Structure 1
Amino acid sequence: MPAFDSSTVTFDLPDRGRLAGVRLYQEVGLRTLDFEPVAGGWRLVTARPPVSRMEYLFELLHRDGNRETVLDPGNARRVAGVFGDKSVLEFEDYAPPGWLAEPPREGHRSGTAGRPEVSWWSPEAGDEPMPLLLVHDGPEYDALASLTHYVSAGIAAGRLPRLRVALLHPGERNGSYSVNDDYADALAALARETPATVRIGMGTSLGALAMLHAHRRHPDLADALFLQSGSFFTDAFDRHERRFPGYARITAFVEEVGRGDPVRPVPVALTCGGAEENLRNNRSMAEILDAQGYKVTFRETRDVHNYTAWRDAFHPSLTRLLQEVCA
């Protein structure tokens, strides 16, 4: 298990001479990444990052020149992600959300085909109008961030109103979520066809961008927005993303939002990791929407761009938003 104190973290990897080098793979902004050879293996002593937990892997350089990325064999803690499992280190100031330990309420699940494809969760079967949570990357949010557990436990505990969740499948994600007018139109059509008392749009990364774009194109789509680590790229902050195929469309849309009039200001809650690359463009978007009359709350978390971070920010940010708009 890695050791840490108030200023440093120490990683060790045993080795009997089979490796030519070891490097730490991480996304928390560390600059010292290469391990040094020590008796019996390899060691890295690096600055403690400004996060409460960190996900990481070891990149091994074999003596034959081959490279391999592996989990830390000395750390039994794992976390699942879109690109596979990672080792995870939790510092003393980290605690998982309390609702994870609460029993969820049994719900009803169903699915539909079409564009966008949807998996549904609701407290019970039927089409009674109730608040509707429209969630981009819905299956990933559910599998990796326990979204329907959060909702069902919140309903059972009385924190949340009875609501229906539309878990939107991403499909061809980069194309659909990169300021795609056809996708926004299809999402708006789905929302209008679903019985609902109010609608809350939710997404992370490109999914957050796509939900904001759909709202600006269809002002009646959502009565509130919950946006996490949105990919609100600008030339000022995100030139490193310029090779992304949708970069030009995204920056043009963000610029348009900045200089445009509000189409229909709704409550918006944003969250973003304090150590992630999207922080500056999320701060900027929060300021833009606030200046346009949106009721904005913005929370910076001590984590980065991953589903556990987004899960840990559901409460109180999403909880309060749902309580407000569903009252």
Structure 2
Amino acid sequence: MPADQLTDLLDPARWDPLPHPPAMEYPLPVRRRDPRTLPPAPATGSAPEVLSRGADGVLLRLRHRAPRARAVALHASGWWRPQPADALDLVPAGDGWWEIVLEAPADWRTSYGFVEHDGPGDPPWWEAGLKAPGAPVHPDALCAHRHGAARGGAERSVLSLPFDGLFRAGRDDAETPAEVHELPLGPDAPRVRWWVPEEAGPAPLPLLVVTDGAEHVEQLGTPERLRRGVEAGVLPPLVAVFVDAGEHRGDVLGVPGGQARWIPEDLVPRLRAAGLTAPGGRRLALTDDPARTIITGASYGGLTALFTAARAPGTIGIAIAQSVSLWRYPRGALVGPLREAAGYAPLRLRLHAGRFEGSMAADARALADALDGSGAEVTLDLHSGGHDWAWWQPALLHDLAAELGR
């Protein structure tokens, strides 16, 4: 199929986003232990505390100090409807401390905090659930790992039971910030910043384009984690370009136009043609190899990554798409464009979904199955997590290392 016909398939006039479906908060049975039957928690130390670890799960203790509270609950992404309703409530442990010991998946990654109830009656989350618990969410004061990329910029603590090493999610405030540079593009373009390691040489560099750039640069510390990966030899030198969504995210992400058109038709060709100038005047060249050019995003950004891959497989050959908001269009709508794109140029799609985010895992599986035999190389990884940066960020970085290590 000619490239202009791929563009026609993704004409925004043919794609009307559907309204957001009602939230589906599936009941989640929670298995917990009575803390009084276990050795007491240490007086000092970090949290969460892993008490035991098996092949399928861990026994986990979390603590929170709230002297004036009458009830306290764990607020963990995707665990919105625990069964029973008080299954994530902490129990008093003396001197204003509260604690919970629960069984969790061995690969659980979650953004979390605690909610407190100090008024009369039952805690509001018993009826409303924990997604909107009716009380502020407090980060875990005992946990050193946090990010501020939750909705509205709220801070959340990060629990990561798999060992992510260099790629653990969340900021490290003690780490020297990586140097990022702004790309001057004019008032009509989104804000774009870029990072390159100091040791990058003259050879053309792989290119990573990251949607929701503000969250990655300002709240998640993704440039710092890329720097760690390069310094450790896990990643080759590369250029990472972070594209902000801005105030109208739903208009520029998750649609076949917007940034899904601008990135492959404007941004990437401009970068390849002009290159970049690093501090000190060092000129950087970018690869023109689609197999070394990657776009990534989560949620609406994940949908943008797939639209971009479908629109320009000869420009960007790899999409890392996480928690893709496939509900935004009729079921299977993206199958045809992606199949056609895979017939035009080699295409690799790395899909990811969380087990605790409603129907997204099933939707991702249906897309992967529908693309079987298309010629596209499609993988699907499922994670024990919700709709959540706590696993999006490390999964992206692990995928990046795998792709660029080929």
Both structures adopt the same fold (TM-score exceeding 0.5): yes
Structure 2 counterparts to residues 263-282 of structure 1, below 5 A: 263-264=341-342, 265-277=346-358, 278-282=360-364
Out of 22, 31, 49, the position equivalent to 2:83 is 31
Out of 145, 150, 156, the position equivalent to 1:86 is 156
Rounded Cα–Cα distance in structure 1 between residues aligned with 2:229 and 2:69: 49
Question: Is the aligned partner of 1:112 residue 2:184?
Answer: yes
Structure 2 counterparts to residues 241-320 of structure 1, below 5 A: 250-252=328-330, 255-259=332-336, 261-264=339-342, 265-277=346-358, 278-320=360-402
Question: Is the aligned partner of 1:190 residue 2:299?
Answer: no
- The Cα of 1:289 is off from its aligned counterpart by 3.1
- Provide the aligned length of Structure 1 versus Structure 2: 303
- The Cα of 1:44 is off from its aligned counterpart by 7.0
The structure-2 alpha-carbon separation of the partners of 1:132 and 1:23, relative to structure 1 and needing over 3 Å to count, comes to same
Question: Is the aligned partner of 1:68 residue 2:157?
Answer: no
SS at match of 1:256: coil
- The Cα of 1:212 is off from its aligned counterpart by 0.9
Using the size of structure 1 for normalisation, the TM-score is 0.75
Q: Which structure has the larger Rg?
A: 2
Gaps of 5+ in 1: 234-249
Out of 308, 319, 326, the position equivalent to 1:232 is 326
Q: What is the letter of the counterpart of residue 298 of structure 2? A: T
Superposed CA RMSD in Å reads 3.8
Superposed CA offset, 1:200-249 (max 9, x none) = 1111121010121122233434121122222222xxxxxxxxxxxxxxxx
Rounded Cα–Cα distance in structure 2 between residues aligned with 1:137 and 1:290: 29
SS at match of 1:213: helix
Gaps of 5+ in 2: 1-46, 125-133, 273-285
In structure 2, the residue matched to 1:213 is 307
In structure 2, the residue matched to 1:137 is 212
Between Structure 1 and Structure 2, the one with more strand by share is 1
1 or 2 for the larger relative contact order (CA 8 Å, sep ≥6)? 2
The structure-2 alpha-carbon separation of the partners of 1:110 and 1:304, relative to structure 1 and needing over 3 Å to count, comes to same
Superposed CA offset, 1:263-309 (max 9, x none) = 23402222333433322222222223343211123323343332231
- The Cα of 1:167 is off from its aligned counterpart by 0.6
53-62 or 129-138, which deviates more: 53-62
The structure-2 alpha-carbon separation of the partners of 1:96 and 1:224, relative to structure 1 and needing over 3 Å to count, comes to closer
SS at match of 2:136: strand
The structure-2 alpha-carbon separation of the partners of 1:154 and 1:82, relative to structure 1 and needing over 3 Å to count, comes to closer
Rounded Cα–Cα distance in structure 1 between residues aligned with 2:253 and 2:362: 20
- The Cα of 1:319 is off from its aligned counterpart by 1.2
